[in-house]
């Protein structure tokens, strides 16, 4: 079986993980931190706004079942990509909208998808989603993994 990775930031990682977990062809998801400068950051470190990390979800998927383009579609539909460093009640740079690409092909597809979304007229404001290379991904603390499965979906504002 072929596996690929995709990494997305779309606000609080609990809801992002739940959204991707519901997609056929997704093998696994892990919540964590990426895009920052500190090694092995903790949730407290990231929330302190000194590390530059985003809350993100690393998605392992089978590309023969689900395409990267389909994952992008899920990404655009789960959050508001026009709000800088904010999703719903969550405010801070760790909640930024971002696509962390793993290959040049992912970058190209992400850029094209972002342009198509902007041109569609679906969003009144400009899309502020970052498209940046995937760096080191730091797994979040265990209590964050599958949080909504453990505590219920009512604790998250994202739509999916």
Residues assigned a catalytic role: 12
Cα 42 from Cα 117, distance rounded (Å)? 33
Helix axis angle for 68-78 and 13-21, nearest 10°, is: 140
CA distances from 155 to 19, 76, 109, 148, 159 (A): 14, 21, 32, 7, 12
Residue 139 corresponds to which tokens in the numbers above?
């797994």
Cα 120 from Cα 69, distance rounded (Å)? 16
Cα 80 from Cα 37, distance rounded (Å)? 26
């Amino acid at each position: 079986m072929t596996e690929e990775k995709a990494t997305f930031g779309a606000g609080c990682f609990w809801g992002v993980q739940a959204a991707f977990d519901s997609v056929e062809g997704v093998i696994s998801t892990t919540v964590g931190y990426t895009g920052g400068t500190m090694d092995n950051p903790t949730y407290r470190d990231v929330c302190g706004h000194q590390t530059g990390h985003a809350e993100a979800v690393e998605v392992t998927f089978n590309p023969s079942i689900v395409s990267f383009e389909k994952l992008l579609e899920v990404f655009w539909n789960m959050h508001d990509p026009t709000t800088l460093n904010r999703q719903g009640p969550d405010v801070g740079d760790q909640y930024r909208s971002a696509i962390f690409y793993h290959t040049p092909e992912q970058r190209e597809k992400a850029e094209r998808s972002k342009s198509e979304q902007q041109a569609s007229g679906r969003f009144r404001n400009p899309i502020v989603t970052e498209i940046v290379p995937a760096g080191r991904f730091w797994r979040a603390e265990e209590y964050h993994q599958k949080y909504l499965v453990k505590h219920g979906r009512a604790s998250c504002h994202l739509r999916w």
